[in-house]
Amino acid sequence: MILYLIDPHDRRLYNNGLFNPKIDLNFIVWKEIKKLLFTKKITLDTIDLHPIESAEKIFFLDHDFFSFNKNNINHYLSLTLRKKVPIKKRNLIISECPIIKPESWDKNNHRYYGNIFTWNDELVDNKKYLHYHWLQNLQKVNTQSVPFNKKKPIVLINAHKTNYLPNELYSLRIRAIRFFEKYALQDFDLFGIGWNKPLQIKFAYSVIKYRPLCLLRFLQDCVNSLKGFPSYKGEVKDKISTLARYKFCICFENMCNIEGYITEKIFDCFKANCIPVYYGASNISSKIPINTFIDYRQFDNYQNLYKYLINMNIRTYDRYLINIKKFLKSTQLKKWNYKSFCNDIFLK
């Protein structure tokens, strides 16, 4: 058997926790990847389980460190350098976007890796930078269908976070929440972690490190969060079944104006028969059919968006759902599944 190692940069996910759906249901796709590679006589384990010299290839999920020292590197990457593991064996999988993991996008850090796998179409050169689609959990879910007239109008499901790097969409989510709370509270519900508490002080770390001039904005956001969110309905145990109770979901990625950044958010809406109001990847319409979602960019303001949503009739609504079902049954979907991900990264 050939040995591949992967570093998930998360204590919970070492000791092969990355392949354990009990930790996170979406890890079922990593479990399937491990099984598929095993049929190819490749063992994929987390990096803590074997001597790094024994690996044919090593994969790092993002270039990760948590330090004010910009020259610092991850423990296991540092170990590969000390052990003189050849660069051709070291691979970087860029998963998070630039505002979440800026270090992954710093080309100065790319010198540590032979191959870099990214969903960013603009970065791909098919030499050092190779393309993959964001890994999606496309397993069918048994969600009870809710009739149009029984669904609530609009929902937003996200954790309460902040960010101040260019093209972040955290602040836009807040503006959406405040708009609906002011003008359409009866038609809008908010779910997720942390909205019933003040903004966490831990987010000051990224502000101080990357945007110190935004510290005042951060403090203002902390003060504003003390007002609470009247639309907040709590956390969710099952995101898909929650989405299924709503006609529309405000579906904003963490970042906009970057190609190929299409995470699980829009697919979760599709699986729940909930129409996403999407904003994120600049080239979304070249990746996912435009008739399956509502493009936030087509509206000048929230007032016009709200009018469009609340006045949509059942015929138009059902047309969106039909298009979503067609897409989920199409061959287009294959590029998002674990087999394609496996072929694009581990079987290159």
pLDDT, one tens digit per residue, over 310-332 is 999 999 999 999 999 999 999 99
Backbone angles phi, psi at 15, to 5 degrees: 55, 40
pLDDT of residue 75: 87
* Mean pLDDT value across residues 241-256: 97
Mean pLDDT (whole number) for 255-278: 97
pLDDT tens by residue, 15-26 = 999 999 999 989
Residue whose token pair is 């072929």 = 343
For the cut 50, the answer to whether the pLDDT of residue 338 exceeds it is: yes
> Does the reported pTM lie above 0.75?
yes
Whole-angstrom distance, CA of residue 143 vs CA of residue 273: 9
Question: Cβ(130)–Cβ(105) under 8 Å?
Answer: no
pLDDT band of 172, cuts 50, 70, 90: very high
Span 78-99, pLDDT tens digits: 999 999 999 999 999 999 999 9
Identify the burial level of 301 via C-beta atoms within 10 angstroms of its C-beta, where 0-12 means exposed, 13-18 middle and 19 or more buried. Answer: exposed
Show the DSSP H helices in 122-261 as ranges. 170-183, 204-210, 215-225, 239-243
Contact assessment for residue 76 and residue 90, using Cβ atoms and an 8 Å cutoff: no
Report d(CA 75, CA 47) in Å as an integer. Answer: 11
Domains of the chain: 2-131 (3.40.50), 148-331 (3.40.50.11660)
pLDDT band at 71 (very low <50, low <70, confident <90, very high): low
CA distances to 106, 177, 297, 298, 299 from 304, in Å = 39, 15, 11, 10, 6
Checking DSSP bridges between strand 129-131 and strand 246-252, what pairing results, if any?
unpaired
Share of the chain above pLDDT 70, in %: 98
- Tracing tokens 């791909």 back to the chain, one arrives at 124
CB 242 within 8 A of CB 155: yes
- Report which of 223, 222, 143, 232 is spatially closest to residue 180, judged by C-alpha positions: 232
125 neighbors 87 (Cβ within 8 angstroms): no
The reported pLDDT for the residue numbered 89 is: 97
User: What Å distances lie between residue 200 and 11, 197, 329, CA to CA?
Assistant: 21, 8, 41
Check residue 72 and give its pLDDT.
Answer: 65
Whether the per-residue pLDDT at 144 is higher than 80: the answer is: no
Report pLDDT digits (tens) over 26-61.
999 999 999 999 999 999 999 999 999 999 999 999
